[in-house]
Amino acid sequence: MSADNQLTRTQRDDLRTVAAMIVPASDEYKVPGADDPAIQADMLATLGRDTKLVAAALDHLARLAGQPLAELDAAKRDAVAQEFRSSGGTAAATLVRVVLQCYYRDDQVLRSLGLELRAPFPKGYVLPDGDWSLLDPVRARGGALRRAP
């Protein structure tokens, strides 16, 4: 078992492997995988209150794999992943969420999605006002409030 606030080396290795299985690198989209060192470092630095559940998920994964995940052949690894996701409950869901929440705030990834590399505040966004004549049919149909006695 790991300490409350950090993962063991084996757990970190398996986290890297499973992260790449969830989101692999892609040349087509010019994005790293979720095993990218910067994204992994973000995950480890911000695990915080999720550490316990993520560690439990990785232990579950290790039990299913019977050996370091990276050493399994591709077919076996996929089977383990499927079993992990269907039987892993909240812990597995937390691990996947941690991977995705760090992946989808990475600079390279956001750039590839055409999103700006910033917090929403203070710049915000601009929203088109839209064509309010769309309401004309609603006005034309009318209607009435149900009467209260």
Partner 1 sequence: MKDPVDVLIIGAGASGAAVAWSLAETKMHILCLEQGGWMNPAEYPSTGRDWEAKFYGEWSSSPNVRGRPEDYPINDDNSPIKVVNYNAVGGSTVMYTAHWPRLHPSDFKVKTLDGVADDWPIDYDALTPFFEENDRMMGTSGLSGDPVSPLTHPPMPQQPLGLSGAILGKAMNKLGWHWWPSDTTVATMDYEGRARCINLGHCTPACAQGAKSSTDITYWPHAVRAGVELRTHCRVREITTDENGMASGVVYYDKDGIEQFQPAHVVIIACNGVGTPRLLLNSASARFPNGLANSSGLVGKNLMFHPYAQIYGYVKEPTDSNRAPPTCLWSKEWYDTDLSRGFVRGYGVQFVRGAGPVFEAVVSEQKGILPWGEDHHRVFRKLNGHRLGFSAICEDLPEEHNCVTLDPVLKDNHGIPAPKINYTISENSQKMMDHALARGREVLETAGATDICINSPIPWGGWHLLGTARMGTDPKRSVVNEWGRTHDVKNLFIVDGSVFVTSGGVNPTSTIQAIALYVADQMKQRLANLFD
Taking residue 77's Cβ as centre, other Cβ atoms within 10 Å add up to 17
| Residue closer to partner 1 (CB basis): 9 or 29 | 29
| Smallest separation (angstroms) from partner 1 to the CB of 116 | 10
| Smallest separation (angstroms) from partner 1 to the CB of 82 | 9
Q: Are 99 and 19 in contact (CB under 8 A)?
A: yes
Task: Using CB under 8 A, list all residues that contact partner 1.
Answer: 21-24, 26, 28-29, 31, 46, 48-50, 81, 85, 93, 96-97, 100-105, 110, 113, 115, 117-132, 134-135, 137-139, 141-149
| Residue closer to partner 1 (CB basis): 38 or 117 | 117
Question: CB within 8 A of 111, min separation 6: which ones?
Answer: 117
| Smallest separation (angstroms) from partner 1 to the CB of 54 | 12
| Residue closer to partner 1 (CB basis): 3 or 119 | 119
| Smallest separation (angstroms) from partner 1 to the CB of 108 | 12
Smallest CA-to-CA distance from 13 within 61, 53, 81, 47 is with 61
| Residue closer to partner 1 (CB basis): 9 or 118 | 118
Exposed, middle or buried by CB within 10 Å (0-12, 13-18, 19+), for 70? middle
| Residue closer to partner 1 (CB basis): 9 or 123 | 123
d(CA 86, CA 108): 31
Phi, psi at 105, each rounded to 5°: -125, 5
Taking residue 114's Cβ as centre, other Cβ atoms within 10 Å add up to 6
| Smallest separation (angstroms) from partner 1 to the CB of 70 | 16
